[in-house]
Amino acid sequence: MDILRNIAYQPASGGKMCEQTLGRVVDSSRRWRVPAEGDHIHHTCPTSASEVSRIITDPSTGKRYCRGRVLGKGGFAKCYEMTDLTTNKIYAAKIIPHSRVSKPHQREKIDKEIELHRTLNHRHVVQFYHYFEDKENIYILLEYCSRRSMAHILKSRKVLTDPEVRYYLKQIVSGLKYLHEQEILHRDLKLGNFFINESMELKVGDFGLAARLEPLEQRRRTICGTPNYLSPEVLNKQGHGCESDIWALGCVMYTMLLGRPPFETTNLKETYRCIREARYSLPSSLMSSAKHLIASMLSRNPEDRPSLEEIIQHDFFSQGFTPDRLSSSCCHTAPDFHLSSPAKSFFKKAAAALFGGKKEKAKYLDNHNKLPKEDEEIYKLRQDLKKTSISHQPQNPRTDEDSKTVSKSSVLEKSDKQQMGDMIRMIVRGTLGSCSSSSECLEDSTMGSVADTVARVLRGCLENMPDSDCIPKEDISTSFHWVTKWVDYSNKYGFGYQLSDHTVGVLFNNGAHMSLLPDKKTVHYYAELGQCSIFPTTEAPEQFISQVTILKYFSHYMEENLMDGGDLPSVTDVCRQRLYLLQWLKSDKALLMLFNDGTFQVNFYHDHTKIIIANQSDEYLLTYINEDRMSTTFRLSTLLLSGGSNDLKNRMEYALNMLLQRCN
């Protein structure tokens, strides 16, 4: 465990000594100095201390502990697993022989670390539990993190994926924000000091170099930390501030994504020069938002670096997928978030998520395929459509049987086109289960019913549409609402969006929803799904004032800073019921939004394309907005007849996969 420091000593000018810690350097005005540029740093191992007893007793309480395996070694101490024999609770025990801290300044350093760490209590900070000492050693009992440190994970993995980096960075920022609020600087943020527990939660640890934040004029001018993570102002002895921890965080993010620190070179002198000049490379393989965030944290001027709050609001987080949790397998192998699988494996994963094992899947499909007598004509029509789509290849000779099939279909199209459209709509509607219409299924506007309905419609279309080289062309006048702008502020308040009629909505983190109507004077508040309270913005009930303020903030921000996402015309007064957001989900490629009336929208980040499925007069419409922000709207029944391009089909499959992930 990297909680401990490996300290070596070498003579320095004037008879002083230098302390070097696994790449960490410490400078004290009295006894220690940092290696000068060009100095050769020797790493020497401390003389081995006498073996610690297997059973250890706390003299002050009488509690007995059993020492286990070694977790890490340092210059002053070793860290062991240690089990409380009364409770069987396991700790990480830092055991420091008195012989190692016999000099006053050495003992003062340990006492200061204990005094600072024992006051801390946060989910993402290694918990301090207890300390005691006997005649031989000092014992510090800390939270046990069974997955070791981020340094161990990166050593095995080499690099991490963007979603993993977001996952870990959010937790680091949370812990660091707590420390800074306590006016504590960590001063040695690096992968080896981020520990991972059994649940894959990150904990900031090792407070051996931590210090209280001092006023600018009284800040420490000492140089301490790890050479690759030192900030320019620390190297220039301008003192430590919160900005120095932000710089180190930028180095951490860079290292996670690329597998090496940004300023790492073959010699210390060149590393220091690169740091002072803030000179490093950003490979083109990095996302633009990742580059921008790293560059802002590694600004040479401390005042130009973002705050922790600004970091977590950055596009790198707001426009990318962050998992709620990670599997322990991520310690050794890259995760598969099941959100970008090819079409062939997609349905296997979706079926597994929905039905479980093979037996359940077979049973479902068997029941699903047993059509009642009145639906036999629909089944026949579906088969005819498949045959027709296959036979639309003039260059191939047709058999008599093929000609009959095509002729029959052609006659059907010409003689009863309306009936055929109705039948196809029934195929799509039939995927809704027992409901006679989509509106009937959506009456209660619960997340489960709406998500299930949309998933069935989308799946039914994908399973039955033929292949095609192009997107269908239809001239349809649209009259539905869709999301033209959005902003994710869920780390603090919630998710905000603007509809095509300029209604602004916010789905708050507590599950409540609030809408500001286009007149900017009326608010709709949904404390529970389906139950709406309406009031003017100027007469908001006292308990809603703060949420109305946030709603207005979202509205102003989107109006001033964001651009509409497509060329669909704005519509007003077309909704049979007021639209509000039920669910949203972000992957590393797209944003999903699901509304109470069944409107389902997916925005793809990389090319800004969008898919919108909406129900209008009991007819499902699909709108596709391409990278040029030009929209095409067509009926799903048309898609069932003529098929869609692979590009569109792949996006529909991805959208369904996201929806299934959300439902499950």
Closest CA to 209 of 23, 15, 13, 17: 23
CA 400 to chain centre: 58
Contacts of 571 (CB under 8 A, 6+ apart): 478, 479, 480, 481, 500, 501
Rounded Cα distance between 326 and 114, Å, is: 32
Task: Using CA atoms of 205, 52, 18, 235 in order, give the dihedral in degrees to the nearest 10.
Answer: 0
Task: Identify how many contiguous H helices and E strands the chain contains and give both numbers.
Answer: 19, 26
Residue 171, number of CB atoms within 10 A of its CB: 19
Rounded Cα distance between 315 and 289, Å, is: 6
Q: Rounded to 5 degrees, what angle do the CA atoms 70, 74, 79 make?
A: 30
Closest CA to 460 of 617, 664, 620, 582: 620
CA 468 to chain centre: 35
Residue 554, number of CB atoms within 10 A of its CB: 24
* DSSP structure class, residue 149: B
Question: Regarding beta strands 600-604 and 590-595, do their DSSP bridges make them parallel or antiparallel, or are they unpaired?
Answer: antiparallel
Asked whether 374 and 436 are in contact (CB, 8 A), the reply is no
Question: Is 408 assigned to a binding site?
Answer: no
Rounded Cα distance between 426 and 640, Å, is: 11
Q: H/E element holding 486?
A: strand 483-489
- Has 607 been annotated as catalytic? no
Percent helix, percent strand, percent coil in the chain, to nearest 5: 40, 20, 40
Residue 154, number of CB atoms within 10 A of its CB: 17
End-to-end Cα spacing for the chain:
37
Rounded Cα distance between 269 and 370, Å, is: 76
Rounded Cα distance between 374 and 167, Å, is: 52
Please pick, among 188, 245, 488, 597, the residue that the annotation labels catalytic: 188
Q: Rounded to 5 degrees, what angle do the CA atoms 91, 335, 607 make?
A: 135
Q: Known binding site: residues?
A: 94
Q: Known binding site for ATP: residues?
A: 94
Catalytic residues: 188
